[in-house]
Amino acid sequence: MIIYGVALLAGCYMVGNFIGDVLGKLLGVQANIGGVGFAMLLLIIISTWAMQKGYMKAPEEQGIKFWSAMYIPIVVAMSSIQNVAAALSGGLVAILGGILAVAIGFLLIPILVGKRSEEKVSEADLAKDNQ
C-alpha cells in the first residue's frame, strides 16, 4: 500500500531529525544540523535494501516517489527558516561543515552509484564482436 511508503518516509524523517538535533547539541549549536539530509540518506538506504530483498512492492514505491517529487520544495521551505547569516557570522565551523559535506558527497558518488572503471576495448576486439 502507498501508506507504507509514506510511513517509511515519516520514520526516516523522525530519525533524521533526531540525529540532526543530537549533532547540533554535540557541536554546541542551537539548531538541527542536517536532519533532512540524514532522513533522505536513511530513506535511500532502507528503500534500496527493501527493494533488493523484495520487501517493497510497487505501491510502497509510489508513496516514496510522491514525496521525492516534493523533496525540493520541502527543502527550500525548510531552509528558508534557517538563519544563514547568523551561521556564517558564527564562525568558520559552518563554512568548513559545508565544504566537508560537499567533498564527502563527491567522494561517495562512485561508491553510491556502484560503477567501476571499464576495461579498455581494443579495435581488434570490436571488429571480432561485430563479425
Parent domain of 124: 83-131
**Are both 110 and 55 inside the same structural domain?**
no
**Are both 78 and 16 inside the same structural domain?**
yes
Q: What is the pLDDT of residue 31?
A: 81
Residue 121 has pLDDT above 60, yes or no: no
How many structural domains compose the chain? 2
**Are both 46 and 4 inside the same structural domain?**
yes
**Are both 4 and 22 inside the same structural domain?**
yes
pTM higher than the cut 0.75: no
Q: Residue 41 burial (CB < 10 Å; 0-12/13-18/19+)?
A: middle
- Judged by DSSP in three states, 50 sits in helix
**Are both 58 and 93 inside the same structural domain?**
no
**Are both 75 and 93 inside the same structural domain?**
no
- Condensed to tens digits (0 to 9), the pLDDT of residues 42-92 reads 888 888 888 788 887 777 777 777 776 776 676 667 666 666 666 667 667
